[in-house]
Amino acid sequence: MADDEEYGRLTALGQQLIETHVRLLGALDDLRDGAPPPRELADHCLAFCAAVTRHHTEEDTSVFPLLAARHPELRDVLDGLERDHRMVAGMLARLAELAQRLDEDGARAELDGLAALLESHFVWEEKRLAGVLDALDPGEWRPRW
């Protein structure tokens, strides 16, 4: 029975990706709508930046190389997603800097831009990769999202 449970968990990797994206977007919405005081905004922004960075680092170092090896036809998609990750990293760095300087207006503007980019990035990634992730054989990769 444990093998069946393991297989079921691993074949739902696409769904796990989607759930991770939903959590990240929810945290981003909380930042944008919650209007915490500037010092709290800085702490929340840093935590959010760390979560997105961990997620994208896991994809870039583990998921994408595995998918590129198994599905060479996805290399252009994966390259595009990695380009997005670099753009997001730049925005996260600007957001962290603005939040640390307690520039609330600047941080909120950066959050709005980040939300637009992440929403489109996540939708594209899910459409292109969720099914491929679900088809991975058990044991090929264990997510650390």
- The tens digit of pLDDT for each residue in 23-54 reads 999 999 988 887 677 778 888 888 999 999 99
* Structural domains present in the chain: 2-134 (1.20.120)
For residues 67 and 78, give the distance between their C-alpha atoms in angstroms, rounded to a whole number.
Answer: 8
Sign of CA dihedral 103, 104, 106, 110: positive
Rounded to two decimals, what is the model's pTM? 0.85
Task: Supply the mean pLDDT for the chain.
Answer: 87
- The single residue listed with the structure tokens 């925005």 is 91
| Of 99, 115, 118, residue with least CA distance to 107 | 99
Q: What is the pLDDT of residues 120-137, one digit of tens each?
A: 999 999 999 999 998 887
Question: What is the reported pLDDT for 138?
Answer: 61
Question: What is the reported pLDDT for 22?
Answer: 97
Q: What is the mean pLDDT of residues 71-89?
A: 97
Q: What is the pLDDT of residues 6-25, one digit of tens each?
A: 444 444 789 889 999 999 99
Do 145 and 55 touch, CB atoms closer than 8 A? yes
Q: How many CB atoms lie within 10 A of CB 101?
A: 12
